[in-house]
Structure formats: structure tokens, C-alpha cells
Amino acid sequence: MTYKELLLRYRNKHGKLVKPRQGWDSLHQKLWLAYSMGRNRGFTDLGTYANKAGDHGYWPARAFDLGRNNRFFNRGWNYLVARRYAKLLVKHRKALNIDYVILGNRINSWRNPFWGFYTRDKSHYYHIHVSMWWPDKYKDD
């Protein structure tokens, strides 16, 4: 599906996009639909912009984190609701401008489009991280 088709399907079911807790300006517009899709699945906003290095450190942020009130209970990849959402994002990654998704100890990226193991830290057992793709993201690699 194209972005336009996904947006139309979303709007027919949910209406307006969901405003990030830090405001519309805190999250890059290309991620608004992916973010709203998660919020309408019951995930809570754990942040967009953060004053630190990485994809959260841009203004507007090029990433967002979503969790649940129960904070996934340390389940990460084994949390079925989150896994379904992560797989949906990956399925439509091109239309949604998504570079990579981290959930638990799994990562799926534009460069490595399979669910590989992620072992850098365990914070993603408690939330899902979604990062935007942009043309010169990897120009220094």
C-alpha cells in the first residue's frame, strides 16, 4: 500500500491523527501516521524528542518510543500486541518512511530486512522504538 492508501484507511477507521505528547513539532511529519497507528492500538507515548545524540536528538525527532501502561512486563518480542504492530510497520516500511524497528531483542531495518537479534541494551523489552529513514542517514558509513 502507498502512504496515501494507508492514511485513507486510517482516517476512515480512526479519524484524525494522534498528536504526540510533546506536540506536532516534536516528531517529523513523515512519522505521524506510524505513530498514530501505534497510539490507536493502545500504546502510550514514551517520547519523541530528547536532547541527546541519535534519532531522538533531531528537532523534529526522527524516532518515537511507544509503550503500554504495563510497560510490556519485560516481555519485549514475546509481547504479541507489540509484535503485531512492529510487523505491520515493517510490512509498510517504505510507505511509512521507516528505517528500523526495535522490539525486545529483535531489530528489523531497511539495510537488514529480517528480524535479527539486537543485544545493545535491554530497554526495548519495555517499549518499541521506531526510527525514520531519510536519504542521507548513512552518508558517513
Q: What is the pLDDT of residue 47?
A: 85
Map residue 61 onto helix, strand or coil.
strand
State which amino acid sits at residue 131.
S
47 sits in which H/E element: strand 44-47
The whole-number pLDDT of residue 74 equals 58
Buried b (16+ CB within 10 A) or exposed e, 6-43: bbeebeeeeeebbebebeeebbbebbbbbbbbbbeeeb
Q: Give mean pLDDT, residues 63-72.
A: 79
0.85 exceeded by the pTM?
yes
Summarize pLDDT for 95-123 with one digit per residue, the tens.
999 999 998 888 999 888 899 988 887 77
